[in-house]
Amino acid sequence: MEQIKSFELSKEFLESLQENIESQHNELIIQSLDGANVADIASLLDELNMDEAIYVLRLLNPSMAADILIEMDEDPLGMVIKELEPTELALLIDQMESDDAADILILMPAKEREDVISHLQEREKSANILDLLRYDEDSAGGLMAKEFIKANKNWNVVQTIEEIRRQAEKVEKIYSIYVVDNRQHLLGRVSLKKIILSSADTKISDIYEKEIISIPTHMDGEHVAEIMRKYDLESVPVVNAKNRLVGRITVDDILDLMREQTDEDIQAMTGISDDIEESDSIFKISKARLPWLLIGVIGGLLGAKIIGFFEDGLSRYIALASFIPLVAATGGNVGIQSSSLVVQTLASKSVFDDTPWQRFVKGVMIALVNGIVLGGFVFLVVKFVYGFDAIFGLTIGLAMFCVVLLASFMGTVTPLVLNKFGINPAIASGPFITTANDLLGLAVYFGVAMALLNM
């Protein structure tokens, strides 16, 4: 039999795995993946075709296969769960914490989802998953897990340790032990250290910390992420409207959410309309990119039309055409800089942040400084380096000043307006601002030229 090498994610390993799948060398496949990180295996399965990926998953033990599903990207995961039988998927769901299970089941149509849930072995797991599916997936309720460790304030240390042992069987990672009363109201938390160091008959009510940060089920996921980042929390309890403990959110859930939101913002800023991956089909990627590219082309055509309106003036001042790229590029850069700063501020809100009006005034002051410096610099270069007369240099310099002001205004106001209406403000940091500033910049440029050069 072929000797098994230590796991290393590579093209050679992928080809070897595909050969073993085709030859159905099951023991060899299992041995080759032994000790590999589930995230690496998930990446590996993404490179296989669907039949090969399903074949490998069915060979692995349910616990490992479940962990791999959790690590897979949404698109390949959606295809995999379509291929698995309800009983097979239920077996894997049984190995997961409730929040991970809910994240997977929400990708399925309601009828198929109910079929899988009906095959789950644990009634408690079924109830927990159904409860989580009621919440919006980006809210605290949708992010939380129903598995956590709690202790009643009336228990002593011995009772608490026994309960921790029992409850920990269903909890993957222990960050905190939450303290509740008889009606499950959240009272605080107690550390393992205090439990271990306390005498056997010590009551939890005597050693728990009452100061605790909790969040309601309806809180937006971005706000939850900001709270956990600000207070450096590894986990945070979730309570319902009656302050009853219903779940917990851990730092790994928040990291996943932040990664998704960052990907969305980057795609929005670059003018990609859908959530796509590099591995997606040519048609899907093209479809996601085309809308803003078409808008850019239309903007360019409109820009050509604007230039056409001033064709007679350009025939008398041919040199004006030479400075069109300079004005357009500067306007685009200023707009993107301004909008990016506003978007960054909106993404990390603070009670100490400036009001929208204060942001606007500050943006105007910055634009005035930049406009004066850039306009003055351009005037000096046009007059003394290029040798044009003062009135022509003033035209280009003043146009530059006006374009900087206008682009800064657009870059500051547009994301604030989009945010006000609940639209992702990151859209304002990409093709939207660039196209708008190109058109408005050209209009301003030729407007100043008409006024000063009598075009």
* Distance, C-alpha 26 to centroid of its chain: 38
Asked if 125 and 94 touch (Cβ cutoff 8 Å), the reply is yes
Q: What is the DSSP string of 386-402?
A: S---HHHHHHHHHHHHH
CA separation for the pair 449, 384 (Å, rounded): 19
Residue 213 CB coordination number (10 Å) = 12
pLDDT at 4: 43
Closest CA to 141 of 91, 189, 99: 99
| Topology at the third CATH level for domain 149-260 | CBS-domain (3.10.580)
Judged against a pLDDT cut of 60, whether residue 352 lies above it is answered with: no
Mean pLDDT lowest among 196-200, 247-251, 330-334:
330-334
Give every CB contact of residue 27 below 8 A, 6+ residues apart in sequence: none
pLDDT tens track for 95-127: 999 999 999 999 999 899 999 999 998 888 899
pLDDT at 340: 75
pLDDT tens track for 252-261: 888 878 777 7
User: Which is more confidently placed, 85 or 256?
Assistant: 85
CA separation for the pair 113, 109 (Å, rounded): 6
pLDDT tens track for 134-161: 999 889 999 999 999 999 999 999 999 9
pLDDT at 113: 93
Instruction: Decide: helix, strand or coil at residue 152.
Output: strand
Closest CA to 48 of 85, 11, 98: 11
User: What average pLDDT does the segment 236-264 reach?
Assistant: 86
User: Which is more confidently placed, 203 or 416?
Assistant: 203
Domain assignments of the chain as residue spans, ordered by start: 11-139, 149-260, 282-453
User: What average pLDDT does the segment 154-176 reach?
Assistant: 89
Give every CB contact of residue 301 below 8 A, 6+ residues apart in sequence: none
pLDDT tens track for 37-64: 898 899 889 889 999 999 999 999 999 9
Helices (H), 119-244: 123-132, 140-143, 157-167, 192-197, 221-230
Judged against a pLDDT cut of 60, whether residue 305 lies above it is answered with: yes
Judged against a pLDDT cut of 90, whether residue 364 lies above it is answered with: no
Q: What is the mean pLDDT of the chain?
A: 85
pLDDT at 3: 44
**pTM to 2 decimals?**
0.65
Q: Name the superfamily (CATH) of residues 11-139.
A: MgtE N-terminal domain-like (1.25.60.10)
Shared fold status for 149-260 and 282-453? no
What does CATH list as the number for 282-453? 1.10.357.20
pLDDT at 218: 94
CA angle 5, 7, 8 (to 5 degrees): 110
Mean pLDDT lowest among 12-26, 203-217, 328-342, 385-399:
328-342
Mean pLDDT lowest among 97-111, 243-257, 276-290, 292-306:
276-290
User: Which is more confidently placed, 116 or 173?
Assistant: 116
